[in-house]
Structure 1
């Protein structure tokens, strides 16, 4: 059994631009530039036939997911929001400059992003959320695939996301320019039981990818600089993984990374912000 996950960070917000921490407590929408980034991601992924779409319930992620869905082969897919996909909670520094977090970390003799300010989640807490969602997704997709063939939708994640089933909102449809982001070295559509889009946040995605690379031994693409794998993905950056199981969900699926933190679709629309701007 094999399925693909396309992992996208939300577009830029005013807080990203100003290097202010958002976390979970600041639910800021995309900026005008962030909408441009989200549309560019939608254009880049416009030939990918997604079967399922999941998003953090924070509006910067939902708006980015909407932009991508509106360009997904003309299909109107429901965006299923799940609270496990939220950004890391940053406690007392939410809404404050990134420099304040760095100063607190330095005073404690630690480095960002592993430092935990008062009231914040630890990085282990965030990775536990990421692992929980990933294995939930694995189980759900493999069971649905065995029972019903390739599904059009997962019906609900209500036990985790309440009534967060989200209509498409806030983004207009754009064109269908295609870039090489649709070319994956393991993309064989007839072998996939599902093709899943997940839109989330930089700090959360970092811990998800850390689990893939460190725990599940996912090899990186040969062209990727390994020193950057544990940096925060730029706004609207895209990563794609193909997950393979034998017959049942196990603790050690085989994972292939087609590409990671890809941003070529953003060329020409503006300057990317520094990493670790969450």
Structure 2
């Protein structure tokens, strides 16, 4: 048996400013840092064997801040190409255990195209509130030059199947730090949601969502809040 832990990054500086962010690479706000650290406290005693993040700094920051509170070991980003791959190899096993951490654009937020950097209220004045709502909440309607949720799923789900599921099958506890829409598409796949059901799905920032993997199936255990948390169940 193993666990899958999904976490949406904490509030970013552009979330705070109510801007469409997408692939624009901006860091966490002060509130976002606190959210990530709080998630770290909740996950402190959970064994985490491998980490996957998007390539965007707000997701990477969230994962690192979570792990700053966790007893599993030190997160180490595994560079897969070039000089960084060669020169970041570990030749000694002294010191604390490290937790391999993989970055991939496949887990990036939905690409918002020409909406990126635009204030959401201003966008409603330009395009109309109904049109902006359709872009934000429909399944297969993309904003100008951007991705729909359906398009996002075309990259997240194959990555989930090919990279993340094999780790769970090897009894590894996996932490995935990503974004509202990339995680919505993965949850849709895991839980078999329809395109109508996924429109109602909202994943809060900085709150771990736990799944249990056993006998080839993922079972949703729910969000990990401070109440109802028994750390003794997850010291492994």
TM-score by length of 1: 0.63
Q: Distance in 1 between matches of 2:3 and 2:102?
A: 17
CA contact 1:126–1:204 (8 Å) conserved in 2: yes
Q: Distance in 2 between matches of 1:19 and 1:11?
A: 14
Q: Distance in 1 between matches of 2:220 and 2:30?
A: 31
CA contact 1:236–1:263 (8 Å) conserved in 2: no
Matched, 1:241 2:225: no
Q: Distance in 1 between matches of 2:137 and 2:19?
A: 14
Q: Distance in 2 between matches of 1:59 and 1:75?
A: 21
CA contact 2:212–2:220 (8 Å) conserved in 1: yes
Instruction: Note the C-alpha offset of 1:53.
Output: 0.8
Partner of 1:270: none
Q: Cα 1:107–1:212, aligned 2, differ >3 Å: closer, same or farther?
A: same
Q: Distance in 2 between matches of 1:139 and 1:11?
A: 24
CA contact 1:48–1:72 (8 Å) conserved in 2: yes
CA contact 2:55–2:103 (8 Å) conserved in 1: yes
1:50-81 alpha-carbon deviations (Å, 9 max, x no partner)? 00011111001111100111222151132221
2:201 aligns with one of 214, 223, 231: 231
- Give SS of 1:4's match: strand
Q: Distance in 2 between matches of 1:141 and 1:108?
A: 38
RMSD: 2.7
Q: Cα 1:50–1:117, aligned 2, differ >3 Å: closer, same or farther?
A: same
Instruction: Note the C-alpha offset of 1:89.
Output: 0.1
Instruction: Note the C-alpha offset of 1:231.
Output: 3.1
Q: How does 1:193-272 map to 2 (within 5 A)?
A: 193-214=171-192, 230-245=200-215, 253-260=216-223, 262-264=224-226
Partner of 1:15: 14
2:44 aligns with one of 36, 43, 46: 46
Structure 2: runs of 5 or more not aligned: 77-100, 228-236
Q: Distance in 2 between matches of 1:108 and 1:12?
A: 21
Instruction: Note the C-alpha offset of 1:230.
Output: 3.3
**Number of positions where the alignment pairs a residue of Structure 1 with one of Structure 2:** 197
Q: Distance in 1 between matches of 2:5 and 2:177?
A: 8
Instruction: Note the C-alpha offset of 1:263.
Output: 4.9
Partner of 2:157: 131
Q: Distance in 1 between matches of 2:52 and 2:17?
A: 28
Q: Cα 1:139–1:197, aligned 2, differ >3 Å: closer, same or farther?
A: closer
Partner of 2:130: 106
